[in-house]
Structure 1
């Protein structure tokens, strides 16, 4: 908690800093997902797919920030002629309100942070034959779980599809990281009336704090104290318990049968919760090391209120690192979103690390390129990587792969656009994609934007 307050102080002081060359400042930008093939066909619950969950969560945050922006300007109006002190008060009010939103609102049973966290878990499980339910949703229950998966299904997944089970464990934390990446890249490309700095802080803190809990005695206490309050039927319990201790337990015990866990007290099946003391010394050391690596996410300049850096009137950029746990270990990336007069770009380098080796990856993206005198919006992405050959933690050989994506959008009026995306990837892990096998997907979405001249 002390670390969280430390970053809050810096954000409070620096939340007014941003640089940009565009004359158009966006109040609201939404991407409303319509269809995602094949996930909307093959998932037992149809919608949302992993990408759709991220988009919906981002949209609800965007709407919330839009409301905070408007309310703050109503309480403390500002204009181009407003004094610096009043602008500081206005910015401080916006930041404090947004901090309250992300700290407490993110846990509401609505499409926000924790909901997306559970949907990322759910997408991986759903594409592997389970019928999971989001336990942080208004129409199911509100306890931050993913339920509806039996011990028998988890036993088969551990035995026959270990990388997918491990992916299901850590997919939730990848949701927070992806929300930061997704929104921050667009912050660099398009100036905003209010930035999601508090959300980026919260997402970094959420990941680090989850590692802190998982490496503490609290994880052992919860393993004992939680079961009396859980359902006796295995399908009504959370599929993982503490995600990261379950991840480390199976990461270092790939051949250990899933059922080789403690029995569930006064109920059926096993106690899915794994405490820190259940881990081998090697697994404990590894989890402690990952906790330290998760601090990388605090090195994001936007956490300090630096949303874009401008060189003249024609070029702006940002550089930010990102750490995520993966089913084979972890990935560390360096993202460089940049904007010129005509192009919105992203360049990134990735490293993928398992127990024995580090493998490289690169990425280049183009966003919303407008051919001269047209309403078309064209985007593309190319990624190349080497990852563990069988997607395993102990693999010693790497395998090359990659992904391509093309998006064609068409502007309908000044606020709306319709966009279709086609993506194709080889075997391997890609952020916000539930497939570890080769896959081709197609998405359709409606976009809405509301802007004003700066």
Structure 2
């Protein structure tokens, strides 16, 4: 790590070193779309959720299924689908900015290259701000990660991003108290993960776009959303420590006193996250009654937290600053060790169902052998446990082959039953392949087949052991 930081500093300070260590994004503008139309078993869980809604019931599932329920998949996207759609939307806009500024400020030398990148990032921040509010945008992904956790347990919810005109004040509504009681009683780790999943979605979006910028050299001008999105996530985790937090939480409970379904599923995420982290055996209804109204009081105030809860939330909040540590944050997508050898890195800390993950993603391209290695620890009350993941891209090196595949292998240790206070650990693995077949030069059929044992996996909604199969298509410009 010291060597990497030293190289960055030298490259920024020495003019002759700039072109040698920091690799410019000089390839023609490009983007890639991907869309998985089949996502099993999640699509069946989503269909069951829709069936419960139609029958006016609550979880667990006990209704009949029809083709109509499956046909509403667009209303209940998986974490992977939400990430892909956010990538498609924002990536298309980034592509437009690159085309525009390559036309008006051709990056023919270092000075013009820097000007080109600065202008592209400034205008991209403007369209990012507009797209954030749209279905399939960045904020949409945040809310859909919350909803995906509920969908795996057949709990219906509604993403108010579809209620246009809400601005950034977007909530997940139409959640019944009975469903939250069911979730906390039967799946306490899912209840914890539910509150943290939105920020997990923001970090997953940034990781996915960095993969494109490093491995596919798309050159997306995403400095603005990287900095401001990470700042939002860090501030959101730390929000319960602000002086105004109790007051703004009280202001939430002034509204919708008689309308349970109009309420957000939790209020502010991380006071609820740490509260449920410490109270897995407490019934959800023990939160009390909604002040001056009906139903259960969902939002958790700072004054509801014990000193131990505040201490761990503070630790988790401080760890979020790791997410700023990356050359990607200032638009450096590739660093060169020597000709043909490229790397980059991004540190990462993510709140999870058992506590938090802290580590980093290391991007490697050694003579076209492309890998992302993720190393870190899983932290809970009593345990600090290892985690490692390897993603190997484009296993087949024959340029004439229409078939290719990526490989994913991961192993970890996490607290037993995902419980924060556990004294014992459980090991787990993930293994997966992502084959693709090129139908034309630009259009491919794609799939993603994976198996995971019990445990938390970044960007996967299931805490149970699960085999997942996805099939779809991708389109690229080069």
TM-score by length of 2: 0.85
Which one scores higher on RCO, CA 8 angstroms, separation ≥ 6?
Answer: 1
Larger CA deviation: 125-134 vs 264-273:
264-273
The offset of 1:297, in angstroms, is 0.4
Asked whether 1:441 is paired with 2:444, we answer: no
**What does residue 159 of structure 2 align with?**
134
After TM superposition, the structure 1 = structure 2 runs for residues 211-230 of structure 1, keeping only pairs within 5 Å, are 211-230=237-256
**What does residue 70 of structure 1 align with?**
99
**What does residue 407 of structure 1 align with?**
434
Q: Report Cα offsets for 1:29-75 as digits up to 9, x if no partner.
A: 2212221111112212534111001110111110111122233345x
Q: How many residues of Structure 1 are paired with residues of Structure 2 in the alignment?
A: 433
After TM superposition, the structure 1 = structure 2 runs for residues 384-423 of structure 1, keeping only pairs within 5 Å, are 384-423=411-450
Aligned pair in 2 of structure 1 residues 365, 193: CA closer, same or farther (>3 Å)?
closer
**What does residue 424 of structure 1 align with?**
451
Larger CA deviation: 396-405 vs 269-278:
269-278
Distance in 2, matches of 1:345 and 1:381, equals 10
Distance in 1, matches of 2:96 and 2:406, equals 30
The offset of 1:171, in angstroms, is 0.7
**What does residue 245 of structure 1 align with?**
271
Aligned pair in 2 of structure 1 residues 375, 23: CA closer, same or farther (>3 Å)?
farther
**What does residue 285 of structure 2 align with?**
259
Aligned pair in 2 of structure 1 residues 339, 134: CA closer, same or farther (>3 Å)?
same
1:57 to 70, 86, 89: 86
Q: Report Cα offsets for 1:200-222 as digits up to 9, x if no partner.
A: 22232121110232221322111
RMSD: 2.3
Q: Report Cα offsets for 1:248-276 as digits up to 9, x if no partner.
A: 11112223321122422343212211121
**Could you tell me whether the CA contact under 8 Å between 2:443 and 2:475 is conserved in 1?**
yes
**What does residue 351 of structure 2 align with?**
325
Gaps of 5+ in 2: 1-12, 51-72
**Could you tell me whether the CA contact under 8 Å between 2:181 and 2:285 is conserved in 1?**
yes
TM-score by length of 1: 0.89
Gaps of 5+ in 1: 1-12
Distance in 2, matches of 1:408 and 1:392, equals 35
**Could you tell me whether the CA contact under 8 Å between 2:189 and 2:280 is conserved in 1?**
no
Distance in 2, matches of 1:21 and 1:107, equals 28
Q: Higher strand fraction: Structure 1 or Structure 2?
A: 1
Distance in 2, matches of 1:135 and 1:269, equals 21
**Could you tell me whether the CA contact under 8 Å between 2:23 and 2:336 is conserved in 1?**
yes
Asked whether 1:122 is paired with 2:140, we answer: no
